[in-house]
A and B are shown apart, each in its own frame.
Chain A
Amino acid sequence: MAILNIVQAINLALKQEMKKDKTIILLGEDIGKNGGVFRVTDGLQKLYGEERVVDTPLSEIGIVGSAIGMAVNGLRPVAEIEFSGFLYSPFDQIISHAGRLRTRSRGRFSCPLVIRVPYGGGIRGLELHCESPEAILAHTPGIKVVVPSGPYDAKGLLISAIRDPDPVIFLEPLRTYRVVKEEVPEKEYTVPLGKANIVKEGTELTVISWGAMLKYTQEALSKTNYKAEIIDLRTISPVDTETIVNSVKKTGRCVIVHEAPRTCGLAAELIAQINEKALLNLEAPVERVTGFDVPYPLYKLEGYYLPDEKRILRAVEKVMKF
């Protein structure tokens, strides 16, 4: 089995699915000849031609809007938004249209499209290249939001996303694109949407994270002796409440780590779910370690903005010693 990073695993998923399903069309800026600014689609245009791997004009509303139309009319478009901050421009298309079409047409039309977006910070990127908009997306009905944390899941989740009958926003962790490597089977497999992954079982504390933050959360926890149960959320919407609640019922303590801003961040929703379904099992208030309610800073300050080992461990200690 080959050892791949996340970029390679996504490339493999696209390559294999496109071979199988001729209706899959990739479209985005610089994804063809250039193979994408992060090389995720490298070599695919050569393999499948310019009609199936399309270099589009610099036009996010054009990309998402026309991908919606393609999906309505029988294709399976996989659009790439080059950088996370560029996703805000086609939000109208996503929120007002992709997420509503099935409802508005009462199932007559649907929109099975995937929008891939490299997301998150920690790469000394330019302004608006390091956004974490998952909570805004999770708040939007009718779409699904998926975040892989490693290569194995990246491949399996992307294949599920492409085959899913509803629009899926696929957020790819930029910071760990090439850092996290693991064995990825060549053979076809899927990882189901809507199911969280218990990365490590434990009895004393539940720690929930996703995307790039998972790796740094795991590293921080490895410095403690607590028997932490670590959950990788994988799908942000619809969220796997059952796995979370069962874990918290077992451990009685919980810390949630995400790099998006705090207010109305996904942690807020998860805490609400825990309060509704496992309040009496809690031994301590749930702690969240998050980005701050500020615009993502220019990169000289991003180290202060992103949850780090110190902040994660402080929250863990607070919850454990409550």
Chain B
Amino acid sequence: MPRKLVTNFKVEYLQVLDNSGNADEELMPRLSSEQIKELYELMVLVRVFDDKAYNLQRQGRLGTYLQVKGQEASQIGSAYALDKKDWIFPSYRESGALITRNHPMYMLLLYWSGDSRGLESPEGLNNFPITITVGTQIPQGTGVAWASKILKEKVVTMIYFGEGATSKGDFHEGLNFAGVFQVPAVFICQNNGFAISLPREKQTASETIAQKAIGYGIKGIQVDGNDVFAVYKAAKEAVDKARKGKGPTLIECITYRLGDHSTADDSSKYRPKEEVLEWQKKDPIGRLERYMLKNKLLNDKNKKVITEKSTEKVEKAVEEYEKVAPPQPEDMFKYTYAQMPDKLQEQMKDLKGE
């Protein structure tokens, strides 16, 4: 009777840029100086936006908001690997990915102020509406990718979620389908350490999130999620592979949520300050800055200009957002069905007191 090793798996980890700003030349993805600057500008813009949104909430000018802070490299590095016609499925923390995908910032603010007009993806952009329930977007993204395959369109779908979502059935069913039907999808798991208060080690006994891909027969890779080059490289490889019809990939970005879960949360209740301070030292923006300063892609002067320009853009978005007139109550009824049924016509009249 045999008792033997049937199979053996390995999980790859990728880091290109260390925390001091030194890049591994061999691993460095193909990015022009312009592209590196663009990535940096996006990261700064997202940080400025994120801080502003947080402050607006504190001032009572915005509703509950979920900060990106600390995850800029994971979001921007991944979304940057997509083509315009590709799809993204953002969860609630993906302001960074959405801004990279040209979702207008004033619309994001509008959404987080309780106005559905902020969710409407501009024509020509396949940004799926932000998903609030955890993980449910995963099988839907698989379905969009599956349709692209059936329709023979060379379009890729990128689906975002956190490590908490990997405990949900939707993750399992979505990734299993993706594997069985070999759909052109890239699954970006931002493992930011916490699902509200639950730490990563209590979320799953699995050593890595990336290895979960193995169970679905798809490629999984773990990357330093605070290293924009590593994230971009893994994402670009996965996107190219998907576009060639060679199947889906799960990318686990190891990162850290520097802020609270949301503006309604107080993370000091469940994690020590020292841990947050440790991760602040690994801030993805600082890391890229150090690389750029070393490589003469940035100096103190243009760094200042970039920050000022970002602030200007964000302030303009805030202005635009605050100028938007309140939504009309008819809006509740207008989009429920393609054609408004009689009962909704009646209820709308009822609301107006007609």
Contacts and interface: CB of A to CB of B under 8 A. Distances in A.
Given A104-B129, A194-B341, A61 B151 contact: no
A105 interface: yes
Nearest to B176: A57
Interface string A14-33: 00000000010100000000
B150 A62 contact: no
A59 B142 contact: no
B116 A65 contact: no
Interface in B111-167: 116-117, 119-121, 123, 128-129, 133, 136, 138-148, 150-151, 157
Given A57-B177, A238-B342, A242-B342, A66 B139 contact: yes
Contact of B147 (A54, A61, A69, A241): A69
B174 interface: yes
A144 B343 CA distance: 13
A65 B136 contact: yes
Contact of A92 (B133, B150, B331, B337): B133
Given A73-B151, A102-B335, A242-B342, A66 B142 contact: yes
A105 B120 contact: yes
B336 interface: yes
Contact of B338 (A57, A73, A96, A110): A110
B173 A65 contact: yes
Contacts, number: 144
B180 interface: yes
A72 interface: yes
16 contacts: A57-B176, A61-B173, A61-B174, A65-B170, A68-B143, A69-B139, A69-B157, A70-B144, A70-B146, A72-B140, A72-B143, A92-B136, A96-B136, A103-B116, A106-B116, A106-B119
Given A72-B128, A73-B143, 16 more contacts: A56-B180, A59-B177, A61-B139, A68-B140, A69-B143, A70-B146, A72-B143, A72-B147, A73-B144, A73-B148, A92-B136, A96-B136, A106-B335, A141-B336, A238-B337, A239-B343
Interface of A: 23, 25, 51, 54, 56-57, 59, 61-62, 64-75, 77, 89, 92-93, 96-97, 101-110, 141-142, 144, 164-166, 194, 238-239, 241-242
